[in-house]
Structure 1
């Protein structure tokens, strides 16, 4: 049975969708802004908030770290300075972890390198996120898996061989994981979401919870993913589409996130139990729209019913349904009917050969 536990929350085929608000660095290096995002995410109904943790000196080559980075989204003159301006330290993580705990939200982060993973482990986060860019980073996967928490692994840009390798690496190290179908484009075009991979993953890895890291700038595709079997949805979250930074434009603002969570929560109820049956709410509309058989004109007692004697008319408030017409033709009336009067089963003589009848009238 595919099942995963994150911060005490059970995620499985028979559970609602586990929704992660991906804050990333949309806090712009501000603890206060991150806290505001946490509060709003809670109000939207998400299950978890997630950040991104990097040890920038460890992560980037010196050349990239020191390279000029001057553009409208830059927080520093070099790429390293830009990344450091956005990075939250251990004290900030402790403060934000406490904030999330008070709000009742699961709190974890993407670990981009081993030192970041170790820091998060020291904070006892309930899970780790692995970004698409590290799906082939087996040393990092092995290191994080050994830390004893579940991994939520994105698969953007991957082949099935890449995914197989990652799954094998994590499981061989004693770890558990959830796979997210992901298109590593920001934003991702609807035509590139390839949601059918969710089905592929479910069939290929029957023991794994499958989800979607959704970089599309709308809310309609996540419920489709749930219908296909995704039980984790990660969606970027921001206060403003126009804020400084590359992620804000395709992130959901609070109203969008609220609607996304609302729609995901509705899907199981909308699916129902699969038993086709009339519902109480349908009785009145169908009583008005439905039809019964009535006399097309005044008919005398003893009249043998023929084509044109009976017609289907609304409302369906008694009498025989239109599908009984074939069973009535050729039978005689026991009483007279006025025009538009409904015909009842008792109004006709018994059929000559009851065994040949298919309708109980």
Structure 2
């Protein structure tokens, strides 16, 4: 899958190393179960590259603004490439200062938030990530206009050789990518995901998602969280927010000016990493072994299923729906590369 995505992106003008890196981060989303943000998005990225909405060979640069602060100028490159540079910068600064706040602008959709929050883990650092989502699908609490995105929050905590603690949540009940996945499979959505923007009634037909708005997680609290995360990733970075956000699902040509934030925190500045990991493991064990409600077979902590799924998919492969395989086969033919089925 990585080689296929890299070949397709290289055929669209990306430098081979950039194509490989973007493909690696894209497929990492598939391996960890974020199917709506993995290779599923490749046809959309290709459309934007072809239409001029994203630049195949960006000149991504870094400006150091303070001892622990930097800005990455993405030059309208693919979001995965911008975030790869952002993570490298954050880790480098956090090694010096103990913590780094790195903003990014001039970027694009970058897939799964957890993938980028996890990039500092290899350096023994906590990663915290947010972004202004690449389309608005939520109204401010009590409103009907889509002026807020699903603006996610992802936090990854290193655990040495054990599975990291990874929280990755949209500020809506589900991401819009999940809605698109249901549309691709022709599967109805459960009530509680979307409402009709005109009537406020539940909307369960994913083919009509353009008529609805996603509901925030936790009611007004999720709406407020989406707002403040968006302000930090948008206006603070001089990136798009609110009415300025371009719906990249409907517009392949317009530059999106997507903004991200990645924070890296060096655990070793607080205490010995092994001692920290042991203490976290002790508390996680307490939580998992605590009393359960009737009908609950297992208390899960953030990142457990993600890690289990990754091990399973590395060993047995990634399930891809027939409709998606058909789209990827068509993409392979257009790009002149070998399709997945022949690899």
TM class by shorter chain equals: under 0.3
User: TM-score, with normalisation over the residues of structure 1?
Assistant: 0.22
User: TM-score, with normalisation over the residues of structure 2?
Assistant: 0.22
